[in-house]
Structure formats: C-alpha cells, structure tokens
Amino acid sequence: MNIEKICVYGAGSVGGFLAGELAKRGHTVSVIARGAHLAAIREKGLTVKTPDETYTVKPFATDNPAEVGKQDLVITVAKAHSLPAMAEGIRTLLGPETPVCFAQNGIPWWYFYGLEGPHKDRKLETLDPGGKLWDLVGPDRAVGTTINSPNEVIAPGVVHNKAKDISTFVVGEPKRSDTARVEAIAEAMRTPRVNVEVTTDIRTGVWNKLLVNLSTWAIAALTHAPSCDNMSNPELREVASRMMREGLAVARSFGLEPECDVDATMEKFGSSTPHKPSLLQDFEAGKPVEIDTVLKITREFGKLNGVPTPTMDILVPLVEQKARSLGLYGK
C-alpha cells in the first residue's frame, strides 16, 4: 500500500499539527478547514510552532471536500458529534481501498464492527445517527486512532504544538487481524515529532483513556473547577473514583481489561497544575460539547450489558441537561 496523498479532514489544533508534520515530511497533503483559519492557510500557508522550531507549509486547503479528489489516506481529526455531517464529504475522498483514520476521544462509531459477541456489527445510534458513517464510509475503511498530542490554534493559520517531547498516535484495526494496513499507515504518518504505534487491541486503548476522562470530565463540567481542585476535595474524589470504577465494570462486561489504577489517577490529578478539561473549556467558551463518546455512551453500554452505573446515572443527565439549556448540545 503506497500512501502519498493524505487528506486531514478537520485541520484545527491536532489536525493542523499533524497536517504540518506530514506535509513537511513530503507527502501531498490536503486539509479541510473552515472560516478564518482556512482563509489564513490559503493565503499564508499553515504555520506550526514547536518547542524547537517554527515552520510553514502550503497544503491544498478548502472547505469543500469535493475539490480534493481521491486520496490514499484520510485522517479525520474532529469532535465526534461533527463526524456524521462529514460522511458525505469523506465519501468523495475515497478510492477503492482508501482507509480512514478516525482520530478522536472516547468510543468510536464503528465500535462493534467485527467484535465477536452478542453485539457484533451493532450500529450505535448515539454516535452515528441513522447509520450515515456506517453506510457512506463503511466500517471496513475505519482505522481506530487515539491521540496524545497537546496543540492549540494560537492564531488563524498558526498551530502551537506544546509537547515536551514526541507526540503519540496509536492506530489499530477494528476487525482485521492482519496488521499490514495499519503498519503502512503508521509508517506513512511517522515524523521526528510524531510517533505512531500499532496496536492489535485498539478497543482497550480507547478505554484506557476514556476511563480517565470519565472520572474528571463530568465533575468539571458541573463545578467549573480545574481537576486538581476537584480531586483534592475528598467528596468529589470519591465521586470521581466511582465514575471510574463504574466505567471499568462496563469495559469488563465486554471482556476487556483496561489499565485502570483509580487511586493513582486521583493522586495524579489531585497534585497536578490547574487544568480545565476540554469539556469544561468548551462549556465556558460556549462551543458545542462532546458528551456522547465518553459520558453518554458509557452509560448506554452499561444499560446494554446490565451493568449498574448509579453515579453516571446522576452526573451524565445533569451534564446533558446543562448542555441542552446552554444550547451547546444539538440533539
């Protein structure tokens, strides 16, 4: 599999950084972006600031995927709730074999694709309403992708990569046991600042990160306090611990055993520097909030498998109600 033409669909903070790195490496990169950020990339190129250098690349940039043409690889870097609306656009980028890396937080829409067990090939209405992604893109093109890379758009067309060392992406097949496709993708994506690991168990990787987010996100969204303050409060630490344990029980009900050390996680947050989770940042900035892939779906999975989630049953509806009242949650 030869990967040269890559489209980064959603070239904001993480997507912008990745597009910059891939273009610098010599790939033919197209980006799909919007608004002032898009205008700036078209006019002046995409500038990436890292701790040791600043560089500018000139990828093809548009807000209309139909202008881009068939790609060897598509990488979406977008909030999960905006993915269904991108399904038609992604379709125009696909050649016969083009894979699509869905880089995101939490549970992906293709989660049950090829997963042995009672829910095999189940479509998730919460994450893929009407099955648009499943039908227009198809789960066999999907490649699971998790991100560990702190970035921020500091001005239109300018992305700041804040990683002290190398950023890590993990890619894995939803169904195939043959890793040839993901090995090729990883090879194409690697740069001096981007490490790409291949896993044969992407779902466990998703849960590892999800459980941590589950513990802090809902509480922060309701209290507006940075996680260090919440986790230094014994009562809220207990609430966070219960959220994490309930999430772990849900993961185990699927036969998974994610890495999960509740006390160590609480200690780590309790003694960290003040940081507001992205969900709270979105609430405070009045941006659409991402609650489906971490909070809502975990509770739904609990119901699906008969796992009690009494703490989630309180916190998740409260966050959802708040998001609705503030007009930040569309459905």
Partner 1 sequence: MKYCIYGAGAIGGHVAARLAKAGEEVSAIARGPHLEAIRQDGLTLLVADQDRFTVDVNATDKPAELGPQDVIFVAVKGPALPAVAEGIRPLMKDDTAVVFAMNGVPWWFFHGLPGKYEGRRIETVDPGGRMWDAVGPGRAIGCVVNSANHVVAPGVVRNDAPKPNRFWLGEPDGSRSERVLAISAAMEKGGFAAPVSEDIRKDIWGKGLRALANASIGSLTTTASCHFLSNPDIRPIARAMMQEGYDVGVAVGCDCGIDIDADIDQVAGSPPHRHSMLQDLEAGRPMEIDGIIGVVQEMSRMTGTPTPTIDMVLALVKQRARSAGLYDG
Q: Return residues touching partner 1 (CB under 8 A).
A: 219, 222-225, 229-230, 233, 235-236, 239, 311, 313-314, 316-318, 320-322, 324-326
Q: What are the CA-CA distances from residue 55 to residues 23, 25, 75 (Å)?
A: 11, 12, 22
Catalytic site positions: 209
116-123, Cβ contacts within 8 angstroms, sequence gap of 24 or more: 117/254, 117/255, 119/304
Measured from the CB of residue 162, what is the shortest distance to partner 1 in angstroms?
25
CA 43 to CA 274: how far, in whole Å? 37
Kindly tell me which of 13 and 298 has the beta carbon lying closer to partner 1. 298
Residue type at 155?
Answer: A
Complex with partner 1: residue 259 or 313, whichever CB lies closer: 313
Minimum distance of partner 1 from residue 210's CB (angstroms): 21
Task: Pick between residue 206 and residue 218 the one whose CB is nearest to partner 1.
Answer: 218
Q: Supply the minimum distance, in Å, between the C-beta of residue 289 and partner 1.
A: 13
Minimal distance, residue 234 CB to partner 1, in Å: 9
**Alpha-carbon span 291 to 304, nearest angstrom:** 18
Q: How, if at all, do strands 46-49 and 73-77 pair?
A: unpaired
Nearer residue to partner 1 within complex by CB, 182 or 291? 291
Of 265, 271, 301, the C-alpha closest to 118 is 301
> How distant, in Å, are the alpha carbons of 142, 170, 198 from that of 147?
16, 7, 12
